[in-house]
Amino acid sequence: MENDSEDTRLGELLMQRATGALSAPEADALAQALAKLPPGELARWERAAAELAAAFAAADPAMREAMPDSLAARVISSGEAIVRSEPRVLPIAAPAAAALRSTALAWTGWFAAAAAVTLWLAVPRTNTPSDRVVVAPMASTPMQLRDSLLAADSATDRLAWTATKDSSARSASGDVVWSARAQRGVMHIVGLQANDRSRWQYQLWIFDKTRDEKYPVDGGVFDIPAGQTDVYVPIDARVPVGDAVMFAITVEPAGGVVVSTRERIALLATRKS
């Protein structure tokens, strides 16, 4: 039951982040909860959140008023109830299945809740224009999320990467897409050196105009697999970003760092004022 409660709370926090209603303490709680998840589970939760964020970003601003707390609670509980009523067979050994069943069901329930929110956005209400909202397509890959964010919101930033003289960058290029409204984004990176994740990794930093530039927002640690010269990486901002003016990819020890020395900066993308 404790795991069920934690999973439900995680779903609530992800919904709040997607809809722009996440407070600073809640952002910290979300970061701590996500840090406890195994890599596979983290990817699934983040994918569901990204899909909800893309759908929310696609809504007309006049129709994107805050979802009532009572409705949000019903959406989450209904989504989980629907999933729990359906028997599921997981293709893994029985002991492992027992341990993971709760998390798998809760995630799927959250996914159903996200779909319900998308539907809520698409249904006209009496105090809004009668035109139906055009909802962004569900994104199953970072590339699709990138495309949906660009299509859904004309205010989404698309900034070109500039390679530095760092040996990892050389002739690297690409761009970064960031939606301030959805608080989601995707990096498109071409030609960046593959890394040995046991020794070092890449880390994204988002410089927020509303924050001290000494402490940019951690945008997530990621890898460039060997043999892959063209990759799309979802951005995982640890706290809400007010006004992103620059993105930087640094080379860090395996696992990333809390504060970067910025000794090795591979790529930079700056928004022109």
Identify the pLDDT of residue 31. 76
- The per-residue DSSP string of 77-117 comes to HHHHHHHHTS----SS-HHHHHHHHHHHHHHHHHHHHHHHH
Would you state the structure tokens that stand for residue 41, as one six-digit string?
């589970």
Those residues with Cβ within 8 angstroms of residue 88's Cβ, 6 or more apart along the chain or in another chain: 101, 104, 105, 108
Contact 217, 241 (CB under 8 A): yes
Question: What is the tens place of the pLDDT at every residue in 57-116?
Answer: 554 454 444 555 555 555 445 444 444 443 433 333 334 434 334 444 444 444 445 544
- Please state, in angstroms and rounded to a whole number, the distance separating the CA atoms of residues 75 and 248: 37
Contact 174, 190 (CB under 8 A): yes
Neighbours of 185 (CB within 10 A): 31
pLDDT for residue 130 is more than 70: no
pLDDT for residue 137 is more than 60: no
Question: What is the tens place of the pLDDT at every residue in 242-255?
Answer: 999 999 999 999 99
Exposure on the CB side of residue 163, measured as CA atoms within 13 A: 15
Q: What band does 208 get if pLDDT is binned at 50, 70 and 90?
A: very high
Question: What is the tens place of the pLDDT at every residue in 15-50?
Answer: 666 655 667 777 778 777 777 777 666 666 666 665
